[in-house]
Amino acid sequence: MNKKDILDILKSPDKSLFKEADKVREEHVGNGVHLRGLIEFSNICKMNCLYCGLQSSNKNVERFRLAKDEILSIAKSGVEAGYKTIVMQSGEDSYFSAKVLCEIISEIKSLDVALTLSLGERTYDEYKAFKDAGADRYLIRIETTDEKLYKKMHPFADFENRKRCLRDLKKIGFETGTGCLVGLPGQTVESLADDILFFKDLDADMIGIGPFISHPDTPLASEPNGDFNLALKVMALTRLILPDINIPATTAMETLKENGRLLALQSGANVVMPNLTDVEHKKLYSIYPNKASADRNEVEVMLKRIGRYVADDFGFRKH
């Protein structure tokens, strides 16, 4: 597909794309759904992404940082509950040096589990140290490939450095995840088509698509939320273009629309990321408001209903 083909589909009211993406998903990655257990371990962030409730200039958020032992204990419970992947996610919190993180990574890896990191922008050497310590995957969303919009949305960040991070992660050998927000104020359908082509160029191993959801404590508080169907289309098109990758049914999809997770799983997604963090801290990790939860038992019941099941392998990309 070229940009024009992608644009035609994004602009078309035809919904057959979702069925097609579901078929491609079944053919290439099967009916197993990978559950990744998410640990949100620090909501302290030095960045100021305009859409995010955790931005450093938001003084209304109560900040927390879990201790190493707390993180390890959550990871251990996750593995005991059957999770084959642990995801460590935080704001860009400089307290967690590469040394501290590598200690945590090694200990989690000793539990015989795949480990995904989502810690933001770091240097090549830090990424290399994480890989050497045993981490398997790294998520860092580009959010938008429209450079002008990127700069507007990320006043403290540098677009080129973001792309450098993704290139470094691939080079080092991480399974690399990226993705975009759909519905940012000022975003065009053309730029969403560019986002999809960017995922293809990078040969990303995981793509997370999240509709924009406005947070009351941000400068974008009065902006309308993103369009669920458009986000679903971007996700389904990504499945067609990168048939064998891992695509989560994102929590933002479920937050924006009831049964959004189910619809995503039937339109190309094959991953769900239940949150392992305790309720109090989960509430404080408010990137966007009213974040939906994903109870493991409920997910299992939902999967059964649609002829799917929880996969019991580590869920690496099968090229």
The residues binding ligand SF4 (CB under 6 A) are 45, 47, 49, 52, 54-55, 91-92, 120, 287
Nearer to ligand SF4, 143 or 168 (CB): 143
Tell me whether residue 180 is exposed, middle or buried, using C-beta atoms within 10 angstroms of its C-beta: 0 to 12, 13 to 18, 19 or more.
buried
Structure tokens, 122: 């770091």
In the chain, alpha helices (H): 3-11, 16-29, 68-80, 98-109, 124-133, 147-153, 159-172, 189-202, 228-241, 251-256, 260-265, 279-284, 296-305
Q: Least separation, in Å, of the C-beta of 49 and ligand SF4? A: 3
Q: Least separation, in Å, of the C-beta of 177 and ligand SF4? A: 14
Nearest to 295 by CA among 265, 314, 313, 273: 273
Neighbouring residues of 108: CB distance < 8 A, sequence distance ≥ 6: 72, 75, 86, 88, 115, 134
Nearer to ligand SF4, 25 or 122 (CB): 122
Instruction: Count CB neighbours of 20 within 10 A.
Output: 17
Q: Least separation, in Å, of the C-beta of 165 and ligand SF4? A: 12
Nearer to ligand SF4, 37 or 53 (CB): 53
Q: Least separation, in Å, of the C-beta of 119 and ligand SF4? A: 9
Nearer to ligand SF4, 94 or 222 (CB): 94
Nearer to ligand SF4, 143 or 194 (CB): 143
Q: Least separation, in Å, of the C-beta of 99 and ligand SF4? A: 21
